[in-house]
Each structure stands twice: as C-alpha cells, then as structure tokens.
Amino acid sequence: MSSWMNLLLRIGDNSQEYSTSSDFKDHIEICFGALRRELEHSENDVLDFLLQCAEQLPHKIPLYGTVIGLTNLENEDFVRKVVETTQTNLQDALDSGNCNRIRILMRFLTVLMCSKVLQPSSLVVVFETLLSSAATTVDEEKGNPSWQACADFYITCILSCLPWGGAELMEQVPEEIERVMVGIEAYLSIRRHASDSGLSFFEDDDETKNGLGEKDFLEDLWSRVQDLSNNGWKLDSVPRPHLSFEAQLVSGKSHEFGPISCPEQTHSPSALSGINYGRQKHEAELKYPQRIRRLNIFPASKFEDLLPIDRFVMEEYLLDVLFFFNGCRKECASFMVGLPVPFRYEYLMAETIFSQLLMLPQPPFRPIYYTLVIIDLCKALPGAFPSVVAGAVRALFEKIADIDMECRTRLILWFSHHLSNFEFIWPWTEWAYVLDLPKWAPQRVFVQEVLEREVRLSYWDKVKQSIENAPGLEELLPPRGGPNFRFSVDGDTERTEQHALSADLSNMVKARAAAREIISWIEESVFPLHGLEVTLKVVTQTFLDIGSKSFTHLITVLERYGQVITKICPDQDKQVMLIAEVGYYWKNNAQVAAIAIDRMMGYRLISNLAIVRWVFSPENIEQFHTSDHPWEVLRNAVSKTYNRISDLRKEISSLKKGIVSAEEAAAKAKAELELAESKLTLVDGEPVLGENPVRLNRLKSRAEKAKEEEISVRESLEAKEALLARALDENEALFLSLYKNFSNVLMERLPDASIAGTLRELKSIQVDSMAVDLEESSMMEVDNENERQQKSQPNGGRTSNGYNIGEKEQWCLSTLGYVKAFSRQYASEIWPHIEKLDAEVLRENAHPLFRKAVYCGLRYAQA
C-alpha cells in the first residue's frame, strides 16, 4: 500500500506512520502534505480512497474533514468533486435505503460544513428535505404512517449530526437551524410513540415499560440533543481539529450541495386494516431497523462522569467500528480500544456489545462475531475488560429469570463459548447455591445449560475438572455422551430374537448389501413375523449404531439406506416413532440427537410436521422449562424449512435474471441470422439470397442453441416456482401445526384469564399461595416480612435462598417466552399466513396470554 494511503488510514492512531505522535494537528499537516503531492498525478485514486476512508472509519471523519478543508485552499476543483461525489452517493443511499451509508454521509457533510467546505445553508436544506419527507410519511391523509420507521430514521440522522456541527450551525445560520429544530419538535408531536413491545431484553418490560410514559429511542435522542444545546453545544466525545486551522480555513471557498430527494412511500388508504398496517410496519422496520436498544447492565454510577450526549456519540463510534470491521475481529478490537475520547469507556463498551449480541429480533451479525470481539478485547485490555465482562455476566445472571427466552439462549451459547477460550475458568462457587433451588428455577437451568454446552465444546472430564471447586455442580452436568443401543451384546444382557435380527442387519450393511436387498429381507423375514414396532426399532437402532462412530458414518448410512427408512416410515405417525428411537439411542447426548434428526429432515426421511408432533409429545412437554433440547430440535426444523424457502427464492431470482440474459442472447442470435439470410451474395457469378453457407449454418446453430438455452432456463424457473409453492404450503402447515400445539398445551396448564391476565399476575400466583399458607398458620410477622421483601425486590419475589415461582407457573412462563421468540424470529414467514392463523388458532378458544405472546412477537398492534 502506498505511503499516502497508510497515512490516510492511520491518521489519528498512535502508529509508526506518524512517528508515534498523538497530536491530531501534526497528523493532519503530515497527511495533507502527502495528499497534496499525490493529487498532482493520482487525483481519482485519492478521491476514491479518501471517501472510502471517511465512510468506513467514521470516527475519524473530523480529521478527514479538516484535511479536505486544507486541500480546498489550494485545489478547489478536487474538493468540488468530493462534494459532488458525496451528493451522488447520498442520493444512491437514499434510493436504496442503505441506512448506514445515509447516516455516515450526513455526518461527513456536517464536518465538511465545519471545515468551511460546504455552505451551512446547503446542509440545512438537506436536513429540511429529510424532515419534510418524514412529516409527510406520518401524515394520516397524505402519507403512510405504517412506514414511521423510515421517518424516524430520517429524523435520527438529522439529530445525530448535531454533536458534530451544532455549534457551527447555531453560530452561522441560527434562524435556519432553529427552524429545523422547531420542525423536529412538531414531527415528534404528531408521530406515534414507538413501542419496544416484543423487542425488550426483559419480559416484564413488555407489560410495564411502554405503559409508563418511557421515552422511545428518538424521544430520548431529542432530549439528549436539547441538553447539548442548553450546554452550549459542548461535549468531550467529538474531536474538533478544524479549530486549530480555523484562521486558514475561513479563506476557503464554501461549495454548494446539489439537491437530493427522498423516495416516496406507497400511499396507504385511510381505512388500512390492522393486519395490512401490521404487515407494512413489519416491512418498514426490517428496512429501517433501530440501530441499538440499550441494555442497562451496570449501575448508573459507572457512567456518572458521562454526559447523555457523550454516551450517544460513544455508542455511534462503537457500532460503526463493529459494523465496518465485521470481517476483521482484531482490527475491530484495536479500533474499539483506541477511540478519540479523553475518558475511559470499558463499561459502556461492554454494554454496547452485549446490547448487539442480545438484540432482538436478530443481532446485526452472527453471535460468533461478538464472541470473538469480546475475547480480543479481553486480550487487548487484560487489566480492565475481563473484570467488566465478568461483572456483566453476574449482573445478567441475577436477572436471568426476567430475560427474554431468545436472549437467554444466546447468553448461554456466548458464555459457554467464551469460557472455552479461557480454560473454562469461572468462580463456580459463587453459583453453587443454585443446587438449593428447584430444578425449574431459571438460574439453575442457566448453569445446567452452560455446562452442557461446555461439554459439547470440550469433553466431559475437562468440564468436570473446571468445577472442582464446586463439586456439587457435577449434579448438573449432562450424562456422559455414549450411545444407548437397545441391542447391545456387551455384559450380561440377555440376547433375544431382536438382538439376532439387529446382528443380521448389521452384517448385511457391513457386506455392503444394497438398499433393495435389505427392504426385501425386511418384507420377507422381519415385518410379517414381528410387526411394525419391532421392525422400526431394529432397523433404526442398528443404522444409528453403525453411524455412531462419527458424523461421516452417520451421513453415509443415511445416504446409502435412506430408502429403507422411507419404506418403513412413509407417514407422520411412523416418523414420530422414528424420531423417538433417535432420541432413545442418543438420550445421553442431546447434541448428536439434534444433529441426527436434523440430517434426517435434510434427507426428507422425516417431515417438519413429524418433528413438531414429537416435540409436543408428553415426554418432551415436561422438559419445556428445564431443558433446551426439545427447543433446539424445533428451532432446527423451523430454520431448515425457512432456509429451503430462502434458497428457492434466491435461485428463482437468479433464474429470472438468467431468462433476461437468455432472451437477449436468443434475440441477438436471431437478429444476426436474419441479417445474414437477408443479404445477397454472388455464387458462381449469380446473386443468391444469404451469406456464405458455412457462416449461415454456424449462425443457425448458434440461434438454435440460444433458443434451447432460453427454454431450458424457463423450464428450470417453472420447476423452482413449483417447488417454492409447495414449500410455502408446507410452511403454512408447519406454523398452523406449531401454534395449534402451543395453544393446546398452554390451555391445559394456564390458569383462567380472570386469575392470570398478565405475566406479572402469573408470576404472583405461587407467591400469593405461599402468603395464604403463612397467614393460615398465624405467622403474621413472617408474612409481612415476606411481603416487604417481594415489594423491595424487582425480580418478582425471588429470595437469596429460594425461588418463589411454582413449577406449573414457570412452565407456562417459559413456554410463553418461546412462543414469543418463535413468532418474532420467523415473523416474515408468519405474516403471509396471519389471517388463517388468526381465524383457526388465535381467535377461537385461545388463552389471552398465548394470543398476546404471538402478537407481541409479531409486533402486531393488537398486542
């Protein structure tokens, strides 16, 4: 990489390119000098790379803006191209809905204004364009309020620019910026309060937070900007290097910014139904997602030296680095610990990363990315960050009973993976008390699931050794992960006729018998004499035992003898029996059981509907609140169904593009052939219609092949569209079956709606019954003390030595949590079927808490 590129990349860093100087002014002067020389012969390269740096290292934008301001003093044409290119890029980003690019480019424009490159009035025009679009969108008559997420995003972009340029705007164009602020205040008065319902980290927040006048993200940002304005626009988190060069920059020419336009939202009829409004709202929130939902882990005292607006700016920095360095974990960690601020921010960094890891409905990137970043930050700041992470884990563990089920699962997966990178070291003695809690207590289940996941990442003895300081926790370890073969011949096991059949089948497989030979053997020698149940057990158990040596062995058996399983298990009832046999064989290893079931579904040996029926079998229902195993199998099945549809849609999109290309190629070949046939040529001195016969034949062959290619692509498209239609029908059947099962099991266990109409009431049932028992035994003082403890504890009545929610109530809470999680995760696939789901499942005989959980997950207004 050229030296000028290195200087641009490393500006502001404590790096060798700048002789370890940390003075921003020195960096800017050195970088400007290098660019000035390079512009003489590589102007286009400098332009492209400079804008790329500004977009992908946005925490350095004030430095890049000052460099451009200095360049403007000597090369106005180059800087004019910078402004014009930025205008083009911003318009493209608005048209495509590229949220991150819109936000960053607006910050870049604000900094260019501070460096006297851009006229302040031009920036105000950009603000007013976005403000006008936002106000129109939320207007009931002229706009489409279901797309408020887009309007809110535009206003957020305007407000987020002000920490970087509010002081300059107020100084140079006070009336214009005041007009923008009044417009924003008017917008806030007509928009709907944005509820976090369904997306809160904590279950109780869905019932309490949004009903108590809590500010949503935009209202909170507006409050922070107002505080900043009242404080004279002073903040510590935004560097202002242009002030060191102000005397020079004022003599530069300020350029105008070309007009931009916001894409119009589809106008909605005033009588938009609730379901159509919900669909469009869901689509808008997918395209314009809220960037962060704050997860308050640590006490406010950890941030008391931080102004509200500084917290917002720091979050912007951290989220930008996470976004632009998602493929470079070490660079990400390096930039995160070296942000241009004069205060420490380890606690804020941890909260921000955890807020992204646990963000609902999905984190911006795969959870493994955040795991790796946290690991690298612990290594980069060994004296500070590990203790902060440990503090976060302890704080979240204390609140685990109230954390959303999806967040709880992600936290388990992250924590087990994190410990596996640090020798599984953790002060388990702190959590040994969970053994005194009932088996359904969330803290106990959390420890149990973390240990189970650790065993998956290591081996049983290693994990057992890691908890030797709290040996009692061995009780929560999973069983040693060996198979549980029904027809094992080890030890003193009595050998039956079924053992002999299993041995015969095993010998046939070892002899590489064909699938049809085994089918014939079953039809002639096994099924007629022993019936379906024995046949299925013998075949399934034997195949699983042969495939138990490794994942490759399992795949080989399923590929080679899948026809045998299909022959025995052609319908749902038999497939449920098949899954039960897989569960029995691998009952000591939940991971392999889940993998085997997933692979069988992949080979279409079992259907997703059969998996749903198995998950809701009595044996599994009893585990809903104490084990993740049935939920893992169900998640895999629904995800695989979703992935099939997603893959088919991608293939269809590609084929449609292929048809366009094939049509163009066929039309071109046909046109060339017709042109050649229309020409007159001389053959033996006589005029003949058509070109040289050899070339003509070649053109005919090419035209025929192009036409055949077009027909082939069309046939492929038709086939894929048929598969997609079938997959969508299967998807509808899957969700109807899933929610009917959820509704049925919850109706059996949930108390009457008059007793438990909210989660808080459901949690209080066991606590209230305990209070009655105490009163009946005339222990009034104890009862009053217990009541005082409940009121003083925001965690629903848990005490240090017990868990006051009964098993039945906890089962209901956990299952409702999973209902909401599934509804939220697959909302895009559920919305097309919501009318049918509403009519067949949610309206008739559905418990209000179940209905609320579904609607809450879908963020449907009726929730």
Q: Does residue 273 register a pLDDT over 80?
A: no
More confident residue, 777 or 678: 678
pLDDT bracket for residue 151 (50, 70, 90): very high
Q: Is residue 582 part of a domain?
A: yes
pLDDT bracket for residue 798 (50, 70, 90): very low
Residues 716-728, mean pLDDT to the nearest whole number: 93
- What are the CA-CA distances from residue 30 to residues 4, 25, 37, 123, 289 (Å)? 10, 9, 11, 29, 40
* Secondary structure (DSSP) of 183-194: HHHHHHHHSPP-
Question: Using CA atoms, how far apart are residues 408 and 388, in angstroms rounded to an integer?
Answer: 19
Q: Is residue 340 part of a domain?
A: no
pLDDT tens digits, residue range 201-257?
998 666 555 445 689 999 999 999 999 999 999 999 999 999 999 999 999 899 999
Contact 561, 543 (CB under 8 A): yes
pLDDT at 23: 81
Q: Does residue 793 register a pLDDT over 50?
A: no
- Name the domain boundary from 622, 642, 670: 622
pLDDT bracket for residue 496 (50, 70, 90): confident
Q: Residue type at 706?
A: A
Question: Inter-axis angle of helices 346-357 and 367-380, to 10 degrees?
Answer: 160
Q: Does residue 442 register a pLDDT over 70?
A: yes
- Name the domain boundary from 246, 279, 312: 279
**H or E element in which residue 275 lies:** helix 274-287
pLDDT bracket for residue 275 (50, 70, 90): confident
Question: Using CA atoms, how far apart are residues 422 and 379, in angstroms rounded to an integer?
Answer: 11
Q: Which long-range contacts (CB under 8 A, 24 or more apart) does 574-578 make?
A: 574/532, 574/536, 575/605, 575/606, 575/607, 575/610, 576/610, 576/613, 576/614, 576/617, 577/533, 577/536, 578/536, 578/540, 578/605, 578/606, 578/610
Q: Does residue 749 register a pLDDT over 80?
A: yes
| Block residue for tokens 């106990």 | 444
Q: Does residue 771 register a pLDDT over 60?
A: no
Reduced to 3 states (helix: H, G, I; strand: E, B; else coil), residue 366 is coil
Which residues are within 8 A (CB) of 724 and not within 5 positions of it... i.e. 6 or more apart? 645, 648, 649, 652
Report the CATH number at residue 34. Answer: 1.25.40.180
Reduced to 3 states (helix: H, G, I; strand: E, B; else coil), residue 716 is helix
Domain of 76 in residue numbering reads as 3-190+268-279
More confident residue, 754 or 420: 420
pLDDT at 649: 92
The C-alpha angle 806, 808, 809, rounded to 5 degrees, equals: 65
- What are the φ/ψ torsions at residue 688 (nearest 5 degrees)? -130, 140
CA proximity to 206, closest of 379, 499, 407: 407
Q: Is residue 560 part of a domain?
A: yes
Arithmetic mean of pLDDT over the chain = 89
Residues 844-863, mean pLDDT to the nearest whole number: 86
Q: Does residue 16 register a pLDDT over 70?
A: yes
Contact 417, 378 (CB under 8 A): no
pLDDT at 305: 83
Q: Is residue 563 part of a domain?
A: yes
Which residues are within 8 A (CB) of 346 and not within 5 positions of it... i.e. 6 or more apart? 381, 384, 385, 388
pTM equals 0.89
pLDDT at 802: 66
pLDDT at 320: 96
262 HSE (CA, 13 A, CB side): 23
Q: Is residue 581 part of a domain?
A: yes
The C-alpha angle 91, 249, 343, rounded to 5 degrees, equals: 80
Residues 682-709, mean pLDDT to the nearest whole number: 74
pLDDT tens digits, residue range 799-851?
444 688 999 999 999 999 999 999 999 999 999 999 999 999 988 788 999 99
- What is the sign, positive or negative, of the torsion defined by CA atoms of 65, 70, 75, 80? positive
- Name the domain boundary from 279, 307, 332: 279
pLDDT tens digits, residue range 611-659?
999 999 999 999 999 999 999 999 999 999 999 999 999 999 999 998 9
Q: Does residue 772 register a pLDDT over 80?
A: no
Q: Is residue 243 part of a domain?
A: no
pLDDT tens digits, residue range 84-129?
999 999 999 999 999 999 999 999 999 999 999 999 999 999 999 9
pLDDT at 491: 64
Q: Is residue 46 part of a domain?
A: yes
pLDDT at 691: 60
Q: Which long-range contacts (CB under 8 A, 24 or more apart) does 469-475 make?
A: 469/427, 469/428, 469/429, 470/428, 470/429, 470/431, 470/432, 472/432, 472/435, 473/428, 473/431, 473/432, 473/434, 473/435, 473/447, 475/435
pLDDT at 857: 94
Query: What is the token pair recorded at 248?
Result: 């020079």
Least confident of 701-710, 786-795, 797-806: 786-795
Q: Residue type at 321?
A: V
**H or E element in which residue 227 lies:** helix 217-230
More confident residue, 699 or 788: 699
Residues 41-56, mean pLDDT to the nearest whole number: 93
pLDDT tens digits, residue range 534-572?
999 999 999 999 999 999 999 999 999 999 999 999 999
Reduced to 3 states (helix: H, G, I; strand: E, B; else coil), residue 260 is coil
Residues 569-585, mean pLDDT to the nearest whole number: 95
pLDDT at 466: 95
Query: What is the token pair recorded at 327?
Result: 């493929």
CA proximity to 59, closest of 241, 230, 220: 241
Percent of the chain with pLDDT over 70: 91
Residues 734-750, mean pLDDT to the nearest whole number: 95
pLDDT tens digits, residue range 316-326?
999 999 999 99
Contact 556, 547 (CB under 8 A): yes
pLDDT bracket for residue 781 (50, 70, 90): very low
Q: Does residue 471 register a pLDDT over 50?
A: yes
Q: Does residue 493 register a pLDDT over 80?
A: no
Residues 727-752, mean pLDDT to the nearest whole number: 94
pLDDT at 787: 44
9 HSE (CA, 13 A, CB side): 11
Highest mean pLDDT among 79-83, 273-277, 660-664: 79-83
Q: Is residue 501 part of a domain?
A: yes
pLDDT bracket for residue 698 (50, 70, 90): confident
Q: Does residue 783 register a pLDDT over 50?
A: no
**Number of domains the chain is built from:** 2
